[in-house]
Structure 1
Amino acid sequence: MLEAIFAPRSIAVVGASPDPTKLGHRILKNILDAGYPGRIFPVHPGASHILGFPAYPSVEQVPEPVDLAVIVVPATVVPNVAEACGRAGVKGLVVISAGFKEVGPEGRALEMQLLEIVQRYGMRMIGPNCLGIIDTITRLNASFAALYPHPGQIAFMSQSGALCTAILDWSKAQGIGFSRFVSLGNKADVDEVTLLEAWGCDQANNRVILAYLEGIGNGDAFVAVARRVTKRIPVIAIKSGATQAGARAASSHTGALAGAEHACEAAFDQSGVLRARSMQELFDFAMAFAYQPLIPGNRLAIVTNAGGPGIIATDAAERIGLHLAELTPATMAALRAALPSTASVSNPIDIIGDARPDRYRVALRAALDDPYVDAVLVLFTPQAVSKPEDVARTIVEVAAGSAKPVVTSFMGAATIGEALRILNDHRIPNYAFPERAIAALGAMVAQRHWVERPPEEYVRFDVDAERVRALFTRVCSEGRVELGELEAREVIEAYGMRLPKSLLAQSPEEAAEIAARLGFPVVMKISSPDILHKSDIGGVKLGIGDSAAARDAYELIEYRARKYSREARIWGVLVQEQVRKGREVLVGVSRDPQFGPLIAFGLGGIYVEALRDVAFRLAPVSRQEAAEQVRAIRAFPLLRGVRGEPPADIAAAEEVILRVSQLVTDFPEIVEMDINPLVVYNRGEGATVLDARIILRG
């Protein structure tokens, strides 16, 4: 159905104007100037002709079928126009008009009315409140952008129309081409997921997909579609609204809810989307993918005419996990025979400052022919005897047809303009500084790893979900959202996670009796749904060794709890067997409004908030993702074992993550959950949940 938008046979511009100062005139002229080959119908209530074309009072009076209507009329009129388009059989709309949900409640209601009309007639719509669309394959410029881009194989979508115009202006100067260029606007109908799915099926025209996103409306759908698309075409996104201030700005800009940073990071990681940290990085990565073959491995050769840039590139490569290739003896022998004795024939290959194009030819050819090289970075700094244009032509000639990517960093400005044009015309990406070239190659390596990653393995355990469902129903019927510790323990037990023996005491004497039955030493802690951080108020006592100490502990814990909050509901004191020591970690859950349950794993106990050493994944979590999550924290060496310490039962920690993932997937009413600490014993000895907290949706 998107063919009606991107490859229409006929277009009506509703709101076309004979006045050159009006937006409707500009859009019609852009369609004409781009060389659109189909039929064009201006729609205006009073004009007879506009830009040489007969004009019609309404879409319904156009004498031929219309595939696409571009609407640029006041917002209050747009629903009536959309209704007329539906009756006339129009299949696609691009609504340029602003004044919808971005302006407040009245605009939101108008947008909902518009969407209802679009859906009722089975149309598809870009916008409202957008710059428009550009498709260089169809030669269609249905936008009010001042420039038409060069044709290319980069597909770009953006929630910001102003950003689109700036990028068009910049890319025109840089010679960067696009296949499609879309301003999404308010995304009432067609959104980033729709475009990802459509563009992901067109590998012939789209070698890379770029996205500037402020909010993602359907996180589950985004992840599911991106997982499929990124196996075929690289997807690079820049996500704004990561900070609190940025989130507020994004919300006020488009009405979209900006997702939490950790959830967004996890969503991109788990769906193969490459995240750019800046607009510069977005296009640095894009040029590598659009111009060069995908890197086959992570072994890099560097060819340079200056030692300093070679060292900078080497350091940058090591930081991101690219390895400098070990050149074969045959490669080094060929270099030694052709280069001056002062040149370095190891990697980086330094052909020294007076290098002319012939040395670049020898070095680049040798590097590309070496079986242990997966990509080549060519560095050039202008020297007195340099011939930048000839060096550029040499690189183009040698790299032509190579199955390995070649990228360059011609450093400078005043003397290399023509060389940069030659490189760009022949699809050799150039970066002003070596670090940017290395980062682009690193993105290619990440894409290669994702493409070769085996299918995710998801597991389901045999659990007692009905027991949990009945418990949640009872808690909600009592008007509560937070489970007490005993109730949380019941959920943990139902999902197959190990717990220490524990019983609730409601008097000092009962506490002493339970403690004796469990066996000393024991742990005692307050049981109250209103006290979240028990240790903060002195509500936890460890190492209680006899009955008298148990009675005293009960009285002290209860006194401290009531002093902390007279209104707190005190259910008693939990008496629990004191488990042996192990490594303390946490497994937590928070529910992101865009992406759903986000699972955290990190160092546990009282240090988690201070150290913030936590890794995140979205549920459901696969076996591979659980293993990666555990290994992603900085403290992982402590679990692996240091200074003669035996390794922890890492597999047991991973299993808890998987069981929690199943729990929060089964029960979307869980909005928060903390298992802290989870005590992980030595390898093969399992893990025990010491404390848990669960909050349900109100």
Structure 2
Amino acid sequence: MGVNSLEHLFWPKSVAIVGASNNPGKAGHQILKTLVEEKFQGKIFAVNTSENEVFGLKCYKSLKDIPDRVEMVVISIPAPGVPDVMKQAAERGDVKAAIIVSAGFAETGIPERIELEKQVVEIAKAAGIRIVGPNCNGIINTGNRISTSFAPGLKMIPGSIGYFTQSGATGGSLLLFASSQPQPLGFSKWVHVGNMCDVTNLEVLEYYASDPSVKVIAGYMEGVRDGRELMKLADRITRQKPLLVLKVGRTEVGSSATLSHTGTLAGSDRIYSAAFAQSGIIRVNTIEELVDSAKALVLAPYPKGNRISVLTEAGGLGIIAMDELGSDPAVQLAPVTQETQEALAKVLPPMAMICKPNGYVDMTAAAMEKEFAESLRLLLKDPNVDAVILIGLPPTFLPAENVAKAIVEVARNHEKPVMVCFMTGQVMEDARKYLEESGIPTFDTPDRAARAMINLIKAASRLNYKGSKVLTLVPDKIFSHNIVKEAAREGRNLLEPEAVQVLEDFGIRMQPFYFAKTEEDAVAGADAIGYPVVLKVVSPQIIHKSDYGGVKLNLYSPEEVRQAYAEIISTVKRKAPDAEIKGVIVTPFMKGGTEVIVGMLRDPQFGPVVMFGLGGVFVEVFKDVSFRVAPFDRDEALKMIAETKAYTILRGARGSQDKDIDALADLLVKIGEIAVSNPEIKEMDLNPVAVFERGLAVLDVRIITEN
């Protein structure tokens, strides 16, 4: 139906409350009370078989008895009665939207209740009625004063934030936190999607994207049914509006797949984080961070870069902010010019610590409002400074209001963001209120100020982003491989010779190899390839060859090859008596290079995901890995590599030569293309991959199919 159909949910001209009640213990009582007290700009109808009047409004016995037009219905009655109400709504012909507050549907997991929800959806779809819920608090729109929420203490403060939530209590808490700021933070719209039997959180996001009253989108997410659609939508939104998401479930439950290193290392949360970053979503970890960041985005100007200066009169508090800034590679300390440093030295007391390190200025507790103001002015004037975090706890002999006024006087003359931390407490309340009324966000603690600044910078760097759209694949890169399809049909994984062939056909240069079925074949292969060589068992039942004694390295002669072949066959038969041994692969023994892992798995929400990290025996020890949802381009692959500690090694740590990072990025892109083109592939491991000064070598590959 499209996002236009959501207009009936947010801007109805009339609303009927089915289950309206005079009993304060009922949700229908609270919803109707809020609509009346907030002066909803439309008609309100009460419906209840047992009431004659509620809040001075006539109470109709059924929905069909209302003589006027009804555009939206809010249903707050026991679940079994909901289908009948929906039938009445469908028969009326004028109802376009329904909010089902009632619980007791599919969320219970009870088959009969799941079926009950399906009945409601079928009735609604046939009549063209959009549903939010069931099991929800519905919507709030400050534009027309409508609220169907029964969360306590909510204040309808107009503003420019669009909230969405998969939890009514958490969503209500967001509004409570926002309204309790020194200057209450307003919002435009709020939605609790409940069971999402019809309207989904993605539809709400799309609606907010097109809503001019929404400048910042913020929400609480437990999960998403189609991760790839979320990414595509977020990619469009975040080029125009910031999108903040509190995604819960950070504990790594891991993937159900355990056949490959990739499957073992990937948890759903790590993939969510990668997908969010890839599509421009700013992920936050707490309710406080979500509200802090939204406040910063609403009040502060967008910075032109990521260089931050910390200005503090309390050393410990400044260090806390520095620690937070240092935790995120998206920002850096500002390289304050020598000219500014010299000017600061003239302004500040002799004991002040100026740019030690550069970008950090500790004014000391001797600073008065004049020093606060002049130091801030000098930093904001500096061309190398994009933003300033100002931290302090003004002593009793220095009224905080005086400092606040001095800060505002300076900040209003510069189009650079200033975040202020005066700590929390009633003694700072008036000063913080004055700052926020003047457009300068304030925060309870230094780390929260720093994190809000980081997220502001991330949002600013994403706006008007001109890079490639996410998850786009050039048509001529799509190649469904017959070897993969045949293995999947036969219900088996690819043998290593087959996996090597697949990679070669996708343009990945592989090492020479020889498939040997006897000792003499193995010797002939080694003679042809050249010594030293490696022997690896080939068996469809054996994924991790070394676990079964199926690998022999660094073989220098025909005698060593014969002995290694015999030992492999003997050991594998003993350790895996049911395994079918096809033979061995003979490949060159490669020396040198930095060992990394490149992997792929198919995630239930996001589809094919590529992994990169430090390889060999270290991969599961250090878990130094990064992820991207495929497909992606070379620029994204380079970012993926740079996120890991392996990047430092590849860049020539401790005097070693730089490795071929460009070749590695190309490999990551191609693995993504293979994964997207061949949906039969469940997991893939290239481990290790040796990266040299020029080029790389894939030393081992396994491809696991959906079988």
| TM-score, scaled to structure 2 | 0.90
> Would the aligned equivalents of 2:240 and 2:464 in 1 still touch at CA under 8 Å?
no
Q: Deviations over 1:542-581 (max 9, x none)?
A: 2223333322222210111111111112112222343454
**Residue of structure 2 aligned with 1:28, choices 26, 32, 42:** 32
Matches of 2:368 and 2:532 in 1, distance apart? 80
Residues 170 and 680 of structure 1: CA distance in aligned 2, closer, same or farther (over 3 Å): closer
Specify the alignment match of 2:102 in structure 1.
Answer: 97
Q: Deviations over 1:180-226 (max 9, x none)?
A: 22222112222221111111223x42232111111111101100011
Correspondence 1:238 to 2:252:
no
Specify the alignment match of 1:514 in structure 2.
Answer: 525
Correspondence 1:625 to 2:636:
yes
Specify the alignment match of 1:445 in structure 2.
Answer: 457
Q: Deviations over 1:60-91 (max 9, x none)?
A: 33223222211112112223322332333322
Specify the alignment match of 1:563 in structure 2.
Answer: 574
**Residue of structure 2 aligned with 1:65, choices 59, 69, 75:** 69
Specify the alignment match of 1:252 in structure 2.
Answer: none
**Residue of structure 2 aligned with 1:405, choices 417, 420, 444:** 417
**Residue of structure 2 aligned with 1:131, choices 120, 127, 137:** 137
Alignment of 1:81-230 (within 5 A): 81-87=85-91, 88-106=93-111, 107-149=113-155, 150-174=157-181, 175-202=184-211, 204-230=212-238
Specify the alignment match of 1:648 in structure 2.
Answer: 659
Q: Deviations over 1:124-172 (max 9, x none)?
A: 2211111222121221111112223222222222211122333333333
Report how far residue 634 of structure 1 moved. 0.2
Q: Deviations over 1:214-259 (max 9, x none)?
A: 11111011000111111111111111112157999xxxxxxxxx97
Specify the alignment match of 1:658 in structure 2.
Answer: 669
Provide the alpha-carbon RMSD of the alignment.
2.8
Matches of 1:498 and 1:247 in 2, distance apart? 30
> Would the aligned equivalents of 2:254 and 2:267 in 1 still touch at CA under 8 Å?
no
Residues 109 and 426 of structure 1: CA distance in aligned 2, closer, same or farther (over 3 Å): farther
Specify the alignment match of 1:323 in structure 2.
Answer: 333
Please give the secondary structure, in 2, of the residue aligned with 1:416: helix
Specify the alignment match of 1:477 in structure 2.
Answer: 489
Alignment of 1:392-541 (within 5 A): 392-400=404-412, 402-451=414-463, 453-456=465-468, 460=474, 465-466=479-480, 468=481, 470-478=482-490, 480-541=491-552
For residue 440 of structure 2, what is the amino acid of its counterpart? I
Matches of 1:613 and 1:446 in 2, distance apart? 23
Residues 21 and 400 of structure 1: CA distance in aligned 2, closer, same or farther (over 3 Å): same
> Would the aligned equivalents of 1:639 and 1:650 in 2 still touch at CA under 8 Å?
yes
Matches of 1:464 and 1:123 in 2, distance apart? 40
Specify the alignment match of 1:255 in structure 2.
Answer: none
For residue 656 of structure 1, what is the amino acid of its counterpart? L
Q: Deviations over 1:515-549 (max 9, x none)?
A: 33333332211111111111122211122233333
Specify the alignment match of 2:283 in structure 1.
Answer: 275
Matches of 1:697 and 1:687 in 2, distance apart? 29
Specify the alignment match of 2:583 in structure 1.
Answer: 572
Please give the secondary structure, in 2, of the residue aligned with 1:182: strand
Specify the alignment match of 1:50 in structure 2.
Answer: 54
Moved more, 361-370 or 68-77: 361-370
Q: Deviations over 1:307-329 (max 9, x none)?
A: 54345445544554332352573
Matches of 1:83 and 1:71 in 2, distance apart? 13
Residues 155 and 337 of structure 1: CA distance in aligned 2, closer, same or farther (over 3 Å): same
For residue 600 of structure 1, what is the amino acid of its counterpart? M
Residues 9 and 245 of structure 1: CA distance in aligned 2, closer, same or farther (over 3 Å): same
Matches of 2:68 and 2:587 in 1, distance apart? 80
Report how far residue 294 of structure 1 moved. 1.2
Matches of 1:673 and 1:120 in 2, distance apart? 45
Report how far residue 23 of structure 1 moved. 1.4
> Would the aligned equivalents of 2:132 and 2:198 in 1 still touch at CA under 8 Å?
yes
Specify the alignment match of 2:625 in structure 1.
Answer: 614
Specify the alignment match of 2:260 in structure 1.
Answer: none
Matches of 1:361 and 1:102 in 2, distance apart? 56
Residues 73 and 402 of structure 1: CA distance in aligned 2, closer, same or farther (over 3 Å): farther
For residue 649 of structure 1, what is the amino acid of its counterpart? D
Specify the alignment match of 1:389 in structure 2.
Answer: 401
> Would the aligned equivalents of 1:147 and 1:168 in 2 still touch at CA under 8 Å?
no
Matches of 2:475 and 2:641 in 1, distance apart? 20
Residues 581 and 411 of structure 1: CA distance in aligned 2, closer, same or farther (over 3 Å): closer
Residues 382 and 477 of structure 1: CA distance in aligned 2, closer, same or farther (over 3 Å): closer
Please give the secondary structure, in 1, of the residue aligned with 2:463: helix
Matches of 2:536 and 2:573 in 1, distance apart? 13
Specify the alignment match of 1:265 in structure 2.
Answer: 273
Moved more, 606-615 or 362-371: 362-371
Report how far residue 264 of structure 1 moved. 0.3
| TM-score, scaled to structure 1 | 0.91
Please give the secondary structure, in 2, of the residue aligned with 1:415: helix
Matches of 1:362 and 1:184 in 2, distance apart? 49
Specify the alignment match of 1:11 in structure 2.
Answer: 15
For residue 70 of structure 1, what is the amino acid of its counterpart? V
For residue 336 of structure 2, what is the amino acid of its counterpart? E
- Unpaired runs of 5+ residues, structure 2, are 257-265
Report how far residue 96 of structure 1 moved. 0.8
Residues 141 and 679 of structure 1: CA distance in aligned 2, closer, same or farther (over 3 Å): same
> Would the aligned equivalents of 1:382 and 1:411 in 2 still touch at CA under 8 Å?
no
Residues 349 and 260 of structure 1: CA distance in aligned 2, closer, same or farther (over 3 Å): closer
Moved more, 579-588 or 336-345: 336-345
Matches of 1:191 and 1:492 in 2, distance apart? 39
- Unpaired runs of 5+ residues, structure 1, are 249-257
> Would the aligned equivalents of 1:242 and 1:259 in 2 still touch at CA under 8 Å?
no
Matches of 2:83 and 2:478 in 1, distance apart? 51
Moved more, 229-238 or 55-64: 55-64
> Would the aligned equivalents of 1:331 and 1:367 in 2 still touch at CA under 8 Å?
no
Residues 222 and 353 of structure 1: CA distance in aligned 2, closer, same or farther (over 3 Å): same
Matches of 1:521 and 1:356 in 2, distance apart? 74
Residues 86 and 317 of structure 1: CA distance in aligned 2, closer, same or farther (over 3 Å): same
Matches of 1:304 and 1:504 in 2, distance apart? 68
> Would the aligned equivalents of 1:382 and 1:412 in 2 still touch at CA under 8 Å?
no
Matches of 2:152 and 2:465 in 1, distance apart? 43
Moved more, 264-273 or 354-363: 354-363
For residue 398 of structure 2, what is the amino acid of its counterpart? S
Report how far residue 5 of structure 1 moved. 0.8
**Residue of structure 2 aligned with 1:693, choices 678, 694, 702:** 702
Residues 46 and 528 of structure 1: CA distance in aligned 2, closer, same or farther (over 3 Å): same
Residues 121 and 692 of structure 1: CA distance in aligned 2, closer, same or farther (over 3 Å): farther
Residues 373 and 581 of structure 1: CA distance in aligned 2, closer, same or farther (over 3 Å): closer
